[in-house]
Chains A and B, each alone.
Chain A
Amino acid sequence: MFVDALGQKQTWLQMREHAMQASSAPPLDSMIQRIQKLSLVPDGASTVVNVTTVRTIVDAGGRYGRQGASHTLTETTLYRDRWTRVSDEWKLKSREQISPSTVSVDRPEWSI
């Protein structure tokens, strides 16, 4: 189950559809998911994860400066994930967005 920042729940089937739709979206330059906090729970583990994605866009409208210039957008979001162990494998049970996404433009790579 996925819960967004507004508290709206989506089922796994809905999330799976989103994941498949992502396969046709412009590719990410990079994605980094770092565990900020981990707690063991009876049926698995709970993590707080900082997810950072970087993508390059062409700014056709001149929103970030000169029209047609390329920019990198770095989006950072905090999630709480629930993992459960099934047949000796970890499976992601739920993901809850616990912070609004922040987007920065042309952020230096080393600062991520």
Chain B
Amino acid sequence: MVAQDPREPPPSEGDWHHRCTARPAGVRNEAGSTTLVVRASDARAVALSTAITIEIKEDVMGRRIGILALAARLAAFGIACSSFPTSATATVSSVNVTGSAPALGGTVSATSSPDTFDVQVELQGLYDEISQIDVPFMTQSDVDLFHDVL
């Protein structure tokens, strides 16, 4: 696990510190902490796709930051977030970034088994895609994309 304070300058070099793009696959709110689960694709390592769990612990000063501010902080670590749920906010004192890929230098932080975790990330990504479809422009093929007659 790699733990860094987002308010500190990011390391100039580091196995896990590199530019990647991330999109949210889930937001888990629990007492005192929020966990963002994002998918990331490494821009330097082609075909590397991994899941990163970002744990946000409660700020001792009780500061609440918006998701855009959080995205800006993540950007300081070389993680570019293409989009986040606009409603997500969190209090932040530290951000732990862990990844399953060797290039990210850590292991996935999950309370459940890896299989369950992977499935949850995948399905949460689908839920996010479904939710982000602009309903007025939904076509029959869009509807069928996520559903099927079984």
Contacts and interface: CB of A to CB of B under 8 A. Distances in A.
Q: Do A and B come from one complex?
A: yes
Interface of A: 12-13, 15-16, 19-20, 22-25, 27-28, 30-35, 38-40, 45, 47, 49, 52, 54, 83-84, 86, 90-93, 109-110, 112
Given A38-B120, A109-B86, A92 B135 contact: no
B119 A30 contact: no
Chain B binding surface SS class: helix
Q: For chain B, which range describes its interface: under 10, 10 to 19, 20 to 34, or 35 or more residues?
A: 35 or more
Given A16-B143, A40-B115, A35 B26 contact: yes
Interface stretch (B15-23, B46-54, B71-79, B123-131): B123-131
28 contacts: A12-B147, A12-B149, A12-B150, A16-B144, A19-B143, A19-B147, A20-B138, A23-B137, A23-B138, A30-B131, A32-B85, A32-B87, A32-B131, A33-B130, A34-B27, A38-B119, A39-B116, A40-B115, A45-B119, A52-B87, A86-B148, A86-B150, A90-B122, A91-B146, A93-B150, A109-B87, A110-B64, A112-B87
For the complex of A and B, list the 3 residue pairs with the smallest distance between their C-beta atoms, beginning with the closest: A33-B127, A112-B87, A31-B131
A47 B112 CA distance: 14
Contacts of B147: 12, 15-16, 19, 91-92
A112 B86 CA distance: 10
Contacts of B123: 35, 38, 45, 47, 83, 90
Interface of B: 26-28, 64, 66, 85-87, 89, 112, 115-116, 119-120, 122-124, 126-128, 130-132, 134-138, 140, 143-144, 146-150
